[in-house]
Amino acid sequence: MTLPEPVRSVVRTAWRGDEGTRGARAIPEEVPIALTYNRSAYAVMLATPADLEDFAVGFSLTEGIVRDAAAIEELDIVPTDAGIELRMWLAPELADQMTQRQRRLAGPSGCGLCGLESLADAVRTPPHIASAARFDTVAIHTAMAALPAAQKLNQQTHAVHAAAFWHPQRGLVALREDVGRHNALDKLVGALARDGVPAAEGLLLLSSRISVEMVQKAAMLGAPIVVAVSAPTALAVRIAEQAGITLVGIARADGFEVFTHPERIASQQVQHVA
């Protein structure tokens, strides 16, 4: 059995005014993906079937199941009639720790918290980021301007999110896409971990709003600055403040807004509104 393609062509009728035209449209695939550890099911997420090795590693890291990619001793991608299984094997002591705090997740692409068993799990305390990295406004605009050309799946479908990492000397280091913004970020985390790229020296870029789950994942990655095209939620701002993360939102061609830890943005002129 083969893996499904991440993009599928379907027939649809496009209406422009009072005229309908029948033709093909590229849309993203979305399939159930089960993540298992030592034959024990941990989560089922609905995701785009691309960059699945990165997804498995990144999810394991942002969930705190492992602390580094090398802790995953074996990874098999197994397509089934019902979806795809990402089978991972951990050392017995790690598997035992995971079993003790195991939770079941049924994760639609739009939700990163479904299935949590307690309110405390939803707003867990993130690691604190103490990076002294600073970036000027030109760097932020340059980084965000590099996103559209690198979003290959979105160019085909206009229906997926992206998460990317930009370095001042290397430019756009990696970008991953998925129908779910959380999945896209997990894939990016996995890609950076597998390539040994430290997140403390660059910008984490998002094509979505900044929800609290995205801040929590950014903290697990160790990213000091998160830049997104949309705004953060109020809870995301509170958690980012606590985690020491600089949140830059509404990043467009004409400017951006800094919500937390503005000291990392160089040459920033703050306007006080009465």
Six-digit token pair at 266?
Answer: 């160089």
From CA 254, how far away is CA 251, in angstroms rounded?
Answer: 8
CB 43 within 8 A of CB 35: yes
Q: How far apart are CA 35 and CA 271, in angstroms?
A: 47
Which entry of 3, 31, 34, 111 is annotated as an active-site residue?
A: 111
Active site residue 111: yes
CB 116 within 8 Å of CB 212: no
Contact 71, 8 (CB under 8 A): no
**Residues with Cβ within 8 Å of residue 145, at least 6 apart in sequence:** 253
CA–CA–CA angle 58, 114, 238 (5° rounding): 75
* Contact call for residues 192 and 223 (beta carbons, < 8 A): no
Q: Any idea what DSSP says for residue 238?
A: H
**Residues with a known catalytic role:** 111
